[in-house]
């Protein structure tokens, strides 16, 4: 186990861009949604930079790109419903687990750490994805972007998880790929570990000054 885990009891993981490379399926749903509305269709590279603040903001960014201005509420609602239906129909068709994820989760769980999942993704997609990859059993709880009143970068979901599992923030580590994970972790009083391979709106994650950066989750458990 890496020394950053010394004194830690709980490890909180982000999902998109940290455990799973989900952009291929998110992009298909965005492309189908915009196509249905007769708008131009973006490529995966564009969609990648729109992920990170939850599904409503992803849809709003896609519509703003297609329209050249902010969408009105009725269009946003219609597009959001279409996106949710398309993504819900195939959240795992092209999504893959990043290397080392299963090994790291199993090792951490085996070493007695409490593992939780804190994503900005809508809650309804969490279990289908965890089950598809056979990793649900290792998590004590999961929080989606629409589970609580606030999502990352708010510290609220992290503090909720720490409280529910009866650990103090100083006993917790937040692991994520984006500035929102690092900001939420710092605000919650968690230590922060960043993975540079995910989605951070095109910026290097080092700009957020996480406590640690590792190339892969394997480095956490070896």
| Site for ligand PGA, rule CB under 6 A | 14-17, 51-54, 58, 119-121, 178
Beta strands in 15-95 (DSSP E): 20-21
User: Cβ neighbours of residue 73 under 8 Å, at least 6 residues apart?
Assistant: none
Output 18 or 170, the one with its CB closest to ligand PGA.
18
Using CB under 5 A, which residues numbered 165 to 204 contact Mg ion? 177-178
Residue 54 site contact among ligand PGA, Mg ion, none (CB < 5 to 8 Å, cut-off depends on kind): ligand PGA
User: Given 14, 21, 25, 181, which residue is catalytic?
Assistant: 14
User: Cβ neighbours of residue 143 under 8 Å, at least 6 residues apart?
Assistant: 116, 117, 118, 119, 123, 157, 160, 161
Longest dimension (CA), the chain: 54
CB atoms inside a 10 Å sphere around CB 138? 20
Could you confirm whether 14 is annotated as catalytic? yes
What residues are paired with 115 via a beta bridge? Answer: 11
What residues are paired with 31 via a beta bridge? Answer: none
Minimum Å gap between C-beta 178 and Mg ion is: 5
CB under 5 A: which stretch of 15-23, 68-76, 83-91, 214-222 binds Mg ion? 15-23
Minimum Å gap between C-beta 218 and ligand PGA is: 20
Give CA–CA dist 174/149, Å, rounded. 20
Q: Is 81 annotated as a binding residue?
A: no
CA-based nearest residue to 62, from 81, 77, 41, 82: 41
Output 36 or 49, the one with its CB closest to Mg ion.
49
Residue 84 site contact among Mg ion, ligand PGA, none (CB < 5 to 8 Å, cut-off depends on kind): none
Q: Is 16 annotated as a binding residue?
A: yes
Answer yes or no whether residue 17 interacts with Mg ion by CB under 5 A: yes
Residue 121 site contact among Mg ion, ligand PGA, none (CB < 5 to 8 Å, cut-off depends on kind): ligand PGA
DSSP state at residue 162: H
Q: Is 177 annotated as a binding residue?
A: yes
Answer yes or no whether residue 16 interacts with Mg ion by CB under 5 A: yes
Residue 71 site contact among Mg ion, ligand PGA, none (CB < 5 to 8 Å, cut-off depends on kind): none
What residues are paired with 116 via a beta bridge? Answer: 12, 141
The H or E element spanning position 29 is helix 23-36
Residues with a catalytic annotation lie at: 14
**Which residues form the interface with Mg ion (CB under 5 A)?**
14, 16-17, 177-178
**Which residues make up each annotated binding site for Mg(2+)?**
14, 16, 177
**Which residues make up each annotated binding site?**
14, 16, 177
């Amino acid at each position: 186990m890496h020394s950053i885990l010394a004194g830690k009891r709980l490890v909180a993981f982000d999902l998109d861009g940290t455990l799973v490379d989900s952009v291929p399926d998110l992009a298909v749903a965005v492309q189908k949604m915009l196509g249905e509305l007769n708008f131009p269709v973006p490529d995966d590279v564009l969609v990648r930079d729109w992920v990170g603040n939850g599904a409503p903001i992803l849809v709003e960014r896609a519509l703003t790109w297609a329209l050249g201005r902010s969408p009105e509420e009725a269009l946003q609602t219609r597009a959001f419903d279409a996106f949710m239906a398309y993504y819900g129909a195939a959240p795992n068709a092209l999504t893959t687990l990043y290397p080392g994820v299963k090994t790291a989760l199993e090792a951490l769980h085996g070493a007695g750490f409490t593992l939780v999942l804190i994503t900005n993704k809508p809650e309804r997609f969490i279990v289908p994805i965890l089950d598809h990859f056979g990793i649900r059993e290792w998590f004590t709880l999961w929080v989606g972007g629409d589970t609580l009143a606030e999502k990352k970068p708010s510290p609220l979901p992290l503090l909720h998880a720490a409280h529910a599992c009866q650990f103090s923030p100083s006993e917790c580590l937040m692991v994520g790929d984006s500035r929102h994970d690092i900001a939420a972790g710092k605000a919650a009083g968690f230590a922060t570990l960043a993975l540079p391979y995910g989605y951070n709106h095109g910026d290097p994650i080092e700009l957020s000054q996480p406590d640690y950066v590792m190339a892969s989750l394997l480095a956490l458990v070896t």
